[in-house]
Amino acid sequence: MKTAYFAGGCFWCITPTFKETEGVIDVASGYCGGDEVNPTYSEVKSQKTGHRETIKIDYDETKVSFEELLDIFISGVDPFDGEGQFIDRGYSYTLAVYYNDIIEKETAVRMISKLEESSGKKVWISAEAFKAFYTAEEEHQNYYLKHPEEFEKELIESGRKKI
């Protein structure tokens, strides 16, 4: 089993796609990138910790590769927005790939560069070395399953889902 870490704006919004991907064993919402130990949702959301909302993806690399997961990630965000994602604004909602090794780093940098070349635009996905992941509070885990109506409303109001 391997683990990937992606910050894609609202962690609620990017969880379902990965949960439904063959080879993905588990997806957890949490925080990465900052130096504060065990930040809370309100602290991260208030932009005080240097963390981003992040998902931790445990996966079977014999069924899905890091590159495939990264491709899914990129297709589910707006990589050209450096200020956040959709209605969620601020550093904690910016995009990042937290890599675990040189191969993941090279894969992320290559895919980001390829997207910049093909689009002719600046891609605002940061590739950073993984430091620590702090699991978000239980109420943020599997939000889309616990609150399907509110989740659907969030997707539509945020602009992530077109109706």
User: Which are the catalytic amino acids?
Assistant: 10
- DSSP 8-class letter at 10: S
- Count CA atoms closer than 13 A to 57's CA, side-chain side: 34
- Specify whether the CB–CB gap between 7 and 52 falls below 8 A: yes
> How many H helices and E strands in the chain?
6, 8
Angular region, 121: left φ>0, alpha ψ -120 to 50, beta rest: beta
